[in-house]
Structure 1
Amino acid sequence: MIQSKVEIVPFEPSLREHFYTLNAAWLKKHFVIEPIDEQVLRDPERSVLEPGGAIFFAKLGDAVIGTCALLREVPGVYELSKMGVDETFRGLGAGRQLLDAAIAEFHRRGGHTLFLESNSSLKPALRMYEQAGFVLQPTIRAGSHYARADVYMIYAPASGRAAR
Structure 2
Amino acid sequence: MEILSYSSEYANAFKELNLEWLNKYFWVEPHDEEVLGNPERYIINPGGSIFFVKEQDIIIATVALMKIKEGVFELTKMAVSPLYQGKKTGQKLLEHCIAFAKKKGWDHLIIYSNRKLENAVYIYKKFGFREIPIEKNNPYARGDIKMKLNLS
TM-score of Structure 1 vs Structure 2, range by shorter chain = over 0.9
* AA aligned opposite 1:145: P
- Give the C-alpha shift of residue 93 in structure 1: 1.5
**1:122 is matched with which residue: 113, 117, 125?**
117
- Give the C-alpha shift of residue 152 in structure 1: 0.6
CA contact (8 A) 1:133 1:157 kept: no
**1:76 is matched with which residue: 64, 71, 79?**
71
Distance 1:143 1:69 in 2: 21
**2:146 is matched with which residue: 135, 148, 152?**
152
**1:21 is matched with which residue: 16, 23, 27?**
16
Instruction: Please list every run of 5 or more consecutive structure 1 residues that lacks an aligned counterpart in the other structure.
Output: 1-5, 159-164
**Structure 1 segments (4+ residues) deviating >4 Å:** none
Aligned residues: percent identity? 38
Tell me which residue corresponds to 2:82. 87
* AA aligned opposite 1:103: I
Tell me which residue corresponds to 1:11. 6
Distance 1:114 1:156 in 2: 7
- Give the C-alpha shift of residue 61 in structure 1: 1.2
CA contact (8 A) 2:60 2:81 kept: yes
Tell me which residue corresponds to 1:3. none
- Give the C-alpha shift of residue 44 in structure 1: 0.5
Confirm whether residue 96 of structure 1 aligns to residue 91 of structure 2: yes
Instruction: Please list every run of 5 or more consecutive structure 2 residues that lacks an aligned counterpart in the other structure.
Output: none
Equivalenced residue count is: 152
Larger radius of gyration: 1
Confirm whether residue 35 of structure 1 aligns to residue 34 of structure 2: no
**1:109 is matched with which residue: 104, 114, 121?**
104
State the Cα deviation string for residues 81-127 of structure 1 (Å, max 9, x = none): 00000111112221011111111221122211210000000011111
Distance 1:124 1:72 in 2: 25
- Give the C-alpha shift of residue 54 in structure 1: 0.3
Q: Say what the alpha-carbon RMSD is for the aligned residues.
A: 1.4
